[in-house]
A and B are shown apart, each in its own frame.
Chain A
Amino acid sequence: MEAAEKLRRFTGPFALIHEEAGPRLLALTRLGIFALWLVKLLLDPVWRLAELPPEMVRPVGVLNLFSPTALGALFNELGLMRMWDCALVVVICCLPPSRWLIGTALRYTLAAAVLTVYSSVIRSFGPAVHTDIVLLLATYALALFAWADFFAPRAPGRYSYPLITIVLMLTLAYTLVGLNRVVTGGPGVFAGPTMTSWAVDASLRGYYFDTGIGWRVPQWPLVNFMLQAGLPGITVFEILAPLCVAWPRFRWVFIPVMLSFHALSLVFMNIFFFDDMLLYLLLIDWSRRFPAMRRVDV
């Protein structure tokens, strides 16, 4: 009994995140997600892709449904600029809230469609990398739940549905990455110099961020040890990420640990998932802290 009591005191309470979310929190989330897309679009001169060798184009996802003529019309400077214009206008239209369910559902669906094309285009010159995929899935959630609201416009928990789903998708992505590494990679991932090798390789290749630090890791035994020892721990946190949905104390450990991990990935591997960092804001149960974010019947 005493052990159980100690365990209970250690774990603290369990509570479903965003269970009490109200319309304000959902509206802020919608605004945040589309504002993030807006910033991404404004920083992205996507039309420059037309200057890359055309033989490098390998359509991704929905682009496989396009005819060769349509792909030709898309992958040139004018086509890419039109797509960017279109995405920008649609995303801007999604920023203000709407009183009408149909208006919300239509705008978000259009945004989901255009952003799917945009996200596929920018991945058509290499691997279908995972950056901003959760953000795109979150856009899908906002659009599809807006349609679902038609069928139950007065469901008491309707504000929490998209929020909890987004948190689950964010954490499920981590879980799948962690499980995949454990099961596919096996003990060698954690036992050998694999982490060092990844850091050096990513640093030599360089991405948008090119810190030029990671390739020096083998020269720094302490840093090398820290990275190698940290990988199993991070993988455990990745696998356990869905606990964030239910366990507030775990979230307060998870958030700083994973933020540090992403910061170190930037420093040593030039990899940065800044969209996911912003989605971490949804790992805070705002409605329990601020009554204004709660639904009225709670």
Chain B
Amino acid sequence: MIRRAPWWFPPISYVGIGAGVYLVSFFHLPPYKTPLLPLAITGQLALLLVMVRVLWKWPPFAAWLAAMPWAHRLVFGLLLAGMILGHFTLNGRQWFPFVAWEIFPHAEGNADVVTAQQFYGRTASGAKVRLLVEREFPSIIQIDRIETLDRAYGPGTTDDLALALAKRYNANHPGDPVRAVDLVQTSVDLHPPAGESRTEPSWKLLKSYDVSPAPSR
């Protein structure tokens, strides 16, 4: 007797279509970032449909959904469809909180060195303190990269941010306020020589801001 797969199991063709779209999407497109956006979307949608179908056809879930009154079913559908549609807008801002769920999606290519800009403060006692926007302003979960600020928000934004950080730090630490802010570029080699043990990343001073209070007259 031939035993058939359970009827709610996804047809193997879906997996085939998904794999096909996946292969076409990028296998011939180094360095891995696919410019064929429609295919990337289709690939995700195909794989998502496989999962939705598995759940949809699973008898206990189907029974639960069928027993749901129409108003509840409408809410259920709206929320989940909103999430899926929001994801496929590829837009994180316009339709918030129905956003594109993109967290670390791209390969980083072949860069050997990773760089990032940071702010450091020099306090009245001579201590060096890191000035993080997300710590001085804890409402903010993440700002854009410091090196992109002037390009994204207009020239002078980095300078304004450095001063705002110093002001806020000094309000929180009146006993040992910051007297100068340094904008530095840090870098880390992804392929260091074997056995290397650095205590801090390489860094280069890009700019200094004097935030000493003006002498009183």
Residues of A within 8 A of B (CB): 4, 14-16, 19, 43-46, 48-49, 51-53, 55-56, 58, 60-62, 64, 116, 119-123, 125-131, 133, 136-137, 140-141, 144-145, 147-152, 155-158, 160-161, 164-165, 168-169, 172-173, 175-177, 179-189, 192-194, 196-198, 200-201, 204-208, 210, 215-216, 218-219, 239, 242, 245-246
Contacts and interface: CB of A to CB of B under 8 A. Distances in A.
Nearest to B30: A188
A158 B133 CA distance: 44
A49 B133 CA distance: 10
Contact of B96 (A120, A131, A150): A120
B111 interface: yes
B168 interface: yes
11 contacts: A52-B133, A148-B75, A155-B69, A177-B101, A180-B100, A180-B103, A181-B104, A185-B106, A186-B107, A204-B186, A218-B189
A189 B107 contact: yes
A127 B142 contact: yes
Contacts of A189: 32, 104-107
B124 interface: no
A38 to B, nearest CB: 16
Given A119-B96, A152-B71, A197-B114, A55 B137 contact: no
B54 to A, nearest CB: 8
A96 to B, nearest CB: 23
A183 B68 contact: no
Contacts of B51: 175, 239, 242
Contacts of B78: 144
B180 interface: no
B138 to A, nearest CB: 6
Contacts of B67: 155-157
Interface of B: 3, 21-22, 25-27, 29, 31-34, 40, 43-44, 47-48, 51, 55, 58, 60-61, 64, 67-72, 74-76, 78-80, 83-84, 87, 92-97, 99-111, 114-116, 118, 130, 132-145, 149, 153-154, 156-157, 160-161, 164, 167-168, 186, 188-192, 196-198, 201
Nearest to A220: B197
B83 A137 contact: yes
Contact of A200 (B40, B58, B100, B114): B114
A142 to B, nearest CB: 10
B110 to A, nearest CB: 7
A63 B87 CA distance: 19
Tell which of A14, A60, A208 has the most Cβ of chain B within 10 Å. A208
Contact of A183 (B40, B76, B197): B40
A53 B164 contact: yes
A149 B116 CA distance: 51
A39 B139 CA distance: 13
Q: Which 9 A-B pairs have the closest CB atoms?
A: A188-B32, A188-B107, A61-B96, A152-B69, A176-B101, A53-B160, A204-B116, A151-B71, A148-B71
A70 to B, nearest CB: 17
B104 to A, nearest CB: 5
A187 to B, nearest CB: 7
A73 B108 CA distance: 41
A241 B1 CA distance: 35
A123 B141 contact: yes
A173 B79 contact: no
B116 A246 contact: no
